Amino acid sequence: MAPPHNRRTPPAFDPTVPGLAARHVAREAVATLLGPARGLALEDALAQAGRGARLEPGEAALARAIATASFRRLGFIKAALAARLRDGVPEDRPHLLALLVTGAAQILDLAVADHAAVDLSVRLTKADPQLQHLAPLVNAVLRRIAREREAIRAQEGDPLTHNTPDWLAHRWRTTYGEAAAHRIAIAHLEGAAVDLTVPRDLETWADRLGGLRLDLGSIRLAEVRDSVAELPGYTEGAWWVQDAAAALPVRLLAPGPGERVADLCAAPGGKTAQIAAAGATVTAVDRSAARLERLGRNLERLGLSAEVVTADALELPEDAPFDAVLLDAPCSATGTIRRHPDVAWTKNETDVIRLAGLQRRLLDKAARLTRPGGRLVYCTCSLEPEEGGGQIADFLNRNPDFERIALTPERLAGHAELIDASGDLRTLPSHLAGGTGRAGGLDGFFASLLRRRG
């Protein structure tokens, strides 16, 4: 291999080549998450990679689709690459690995032309001074992936074994059992439907949007060809996008007109909107000013209002406790993998342990913000027991003035399968399968309804 100073100057990156800029942004985002910055969310990595790229909406959608497909079957894709690379997958070279993974994802999982996936991946390789000498390798490997596509697809095995990180597969087997763990892994490959929360005229909007009215109270869309902002009712604020499971904690809290309700860790604001739409006076608290700006814009579109407070919830004053408190605590987000497949590959057990400590402190704070006789709902979009039932068991042991209100199937439209042995809400990605969209299912959510004794 020639030393770097003897290599030819690589051809300049040409963003006018159709599809090249989108693939560059996807490659950069995937490389970021495969490298040291594993804790970053894919949406943030895409935004970071896209700065200055000025992608048209269609190009931005393509970049997101490529990056998402890369993580949805990352284990399977890496195994296919490893079998066709003499020295194995280049784990220590995230930009090279990202080129190979995003190229293979396009060939194996997306409706794009093979020649475009291969040619544009090679162009990106040639435009990288550190990788240009590997363009023949990238070309050969991706062409082989294209030739052997059907054989590779036929080799895709059990997603729990071959497409789930070992630490997560072990946890889900231990917590939910072998069969349920397999169903969770299968649901992750199917992706997520688009659900809407509609505060008024549910049947009317289900008809107008061509969606299914779920008995849990949401509308599930059959498909979304364009941006949701182009759908009827968006501009006038008739609905907002929110997974059906994510809408359940507020329905359990059941805020009423005139009640003072605190929504802690509130951004991006779907639950704040639910509380405000119920007629309650809501205080939305989040430490991120940028995320609260988005919350404010959403409320403005929906014609709803809230007191918005930029603050660390742990530092809120406790002199005026609330009638009800919702704590949607920061968590590992392993319940959202069907929607955000990068989570499976960018989080680890250390994150679960670290976040469980924060959740404990926030839960105790939320308790002090709840008036005697008031209600507290704790929820997370995690499948991990330390972030769900384990938190509540410990909380009740150290807070004897609180009691759990055990849920009944009637509160969940008869869905007894969504209630765990302790009487708390526990949804799984494999629940509510068979919807009208590309996928059924629910985000994995935990929620516990608690009452402070008066």
Q: Which residues are part of the catalytic machinery?
A: 381
Strands in 219-221's sheet, in edge-to-edge order, are 211-213, 219-221, 195-197, 240-241
Burial class (CB in 10 A: 0-12, 13-18, 19+), 68: buried
- Nearest 5°: CA angle at 69, between 86 and 105? 35
Residue type, 291: R
Instruction: State the sign of the Cα–Cα–Cα–Cα dihedral 348, 38, 185, 417.
Output: positive
In the Cβ-directed half-sphere of 437, how many Cα atoms lie within 13 Å? 25
Task: Tell me the three state secondary structure of residue 210.
Answer: coil
Task: Tell me the three state secondary structure of residue 368.
Answer: helix
In eight-state DSSP terms, residue 423 is: S
CA 422 to CA 402: how far, in whole Å?
15
Taking CA atoms, 273 is separated from 22, 101, 187, 197, 372, in Å, by 34, 39, 28, 9, 25
Task: Tell me the three state secondary structure of residue 375.
Answer: strand
Taking CA atoms, 386 is separated from 376, 395, 406, 451, in Å, by 19, 12, 19, 21
Do 356 and 407 contact (CB within 8 A), yes or no?
no
User: Which residues contact residue 108 at a Cβ distance below 8 angstroms, ignoring those fewer than 6 apart?
Assistant: 73, 77, 80, 145, 149, 152, 153
Question: From the CB of residue 95, how many other CB atoms can be counted at a distance below 10 Å?
Answer: 19
Structure tokens at 395: 């909380």
Q: Which of 209, 331, 198, 212 is nearest to 273 (CA)?
A: 198
- Nearest 5°: CA angle at 47, between 294 and 61? 95
